[in-house]
Amino acid sequence: MSAPPNRCPRCGYVLRYSRTGYACDFCGLRGTQPASSIIASLETSLKRRIQSLLEPQRPTPYNQPVQRSFQTCIFCGQSIPFGSVACPACRKPQSLGLSEQDRRVFDYITSHNGTISISNAAAELSISIDQLTASIELLKRTGVLRQE
């Protein structure tokens, strides 16, 4: 793979050009590339850049979000229809005013069978340890989590 004409082929440092050739101030490489070939390569790259700017921008297609048809009961883990107010199996309400963060914390705890490391969980959930402990306390107060 060859380096671009403005970079040293040996170390990648920016080259210094003169009428007689080029020199790398970092590794000391000296070369004699004719100025016409340097100008030609710069013109080619400039033409490509201008052409890319003049081309009409194509819209980026996005997939429509897939709507889930089922969710998991936050108490018993039973699969229930998405948006259910109460679980048909345990009859407990599904909306306890939990935030998205609290639900993520609950899902994380249940996916680790109830045993987690606070520091690892906070790092994996991208939240602070204080936020994690506050979510855990809220889940305990609402009865979603029970200590055995």
Per residue in 88-146, pLDDT (tens digit) is 888 877 766 678 888 888 888 888 888 888 888 999 999 999 999 998 888 887 777 77
Residue 31 lies in a domain: yes
Whether residues 99 and 135 share a domain: the answer is yes
Domain that holds residue 35: 15-54
135 with 128: CB under 8 angstroms? no
Residue 64 lies in a domain: no
Whether residues 82 and 137 share a domain: the answer is yes
31 with 44: CB under 8 angstroms? no
Residue 44 lies in a domain: yes
pLDDT digits (tens, 9 = 90+) for 12-36: 888 887 777 778 888 888 877 666 6
pTM of the model: 0.40
Residue 26 lies in a domain: yes
Rg of the chain in Å (alpha carbons): 30
Whether residues 81 and 120 share a domain: the answer is yes
Residue 96 lies in a domain: yes
- When divided into structural domains, the chain yields a total of 2
